[in-house]
A and B are shown apart, each in its own frame.
Chain A
């Protein structure tokens, strides 16, 4: 697990646990056929759950080597009638940008990306702010639809919001990104 207490002493343990549970509840509701993931220390509980559920046969779960690879594989799965969900960290969204804008967007592929929002308030790794704090602007410039979940959204609303984002992807025939800030 990540440092649950930030460098300046803020205890995030309860928030990370409750929000991880909400993400897990959303995944259970969506019932994907495949979960494609890259790890984030704040997503550890989510990915552990996904791997456990895959062992039980709920769906197929596997690690990616890069984010853009995930867009390609998930796109192929969608074309063939599957229902994939991607779980990655926002620090790697730059890697996915070309694949999202040249494949998922123009080919009208509904993909849901659950993305851990790192950087910003309560972040404990000084290096990670560099890209992560600019992700909103990057996504907006790329005309990629995204929704944000953080402490301003009651945790009770997280699960339904993520499920709604999946429906929004289907409704708009486009990739949708949910930026989930588990730390703030």
Chain B
């Protein structure tokens, strides 16, 4: 069984959720997601390490989320550990739409492969203790299945995906962040307008 790469995992997430909002964490995560394909449905978080689960939670709680099956937040293990207490808030609020995918390579890959504390933490057990459904994923077919099933099961859900530490060469992404806000907001508002009223 070959180990998943970050690029493989991002490609699988984008393929399963081509129209749902996806909040993408900084650094190589954003740059590799852009290699997979830039979309208006993606919010590229260029900095703010550790904040992606919180941002995803906010979008999942917002009126715009009603138009989508899921709101996906893609975070790394280092980022999750930095904002770990947000798991408690997610568990408290239990947003059904939220799918949090943690790509866990055990290192801060963007800054030179320094180790994180993730290898000594059972991240799924932490999430479950907070009241979040959670699953460990290690292979490509498992990931595809879990992403597909996550659409059918009310969240919140965390998928911890074991990936290798390599970075795919990708250019820097240097937009004005307000451009990212407006694109994402317009996408959400557009879809919200098309959603059936409930």
Contact = CB atoms under 8 A, between A and B. Distances in A.
A binds B: yes
Contacts of B46: 102, 106
Nearest to A84: B58
Contact of A81 (B60, B62, B83, B181): B62
Interface residues of B, number: 38
Contact of B62 (A62, A64, A76, A109): A76
A74 interface: yes
A73 B48 contact: no
Interface string A56-100: 000010111110111111111111111010000000000000110
B55 A76 contact: yes
A64 B189 contact: no
B92 interface: yes
A128 B61 CA distance: 34
B33 interface: no
Contact of B47 (A64, A66, A70, A102): A102
B181 A73 contact: no
Name B's interface SS.
helix
B51 A79 contact: no
Report, nearest first, the 9 A-B pairs whose CB atoms are least far apart: A76-B58, A80-B62, A72-B54, A65-B85, A80-B64, A102-B47, A72-B51, A73-B58, A76-B59
Interface of B: 23, 43, 45-48, 50-65, 83, 85-86, 88-89, 92-93, 177-178, 180-181, 184-185, 188-189, 192
27 contacts: A65-B85, A69-B54, A69-B83, A69-B89, A70-B54, A71-B54, A72-B48, A72-B57, A73-B55, A73-B61, A75-B55, A76-B23, A76-B58, A77-B62, A78-B58, A78-B62, A79-B64, A79-B184, A80-B58, A80-B63, A80-B65, A81-B62, A81-B63, A81-B64, A82-B61, A82-B62, A108-B178
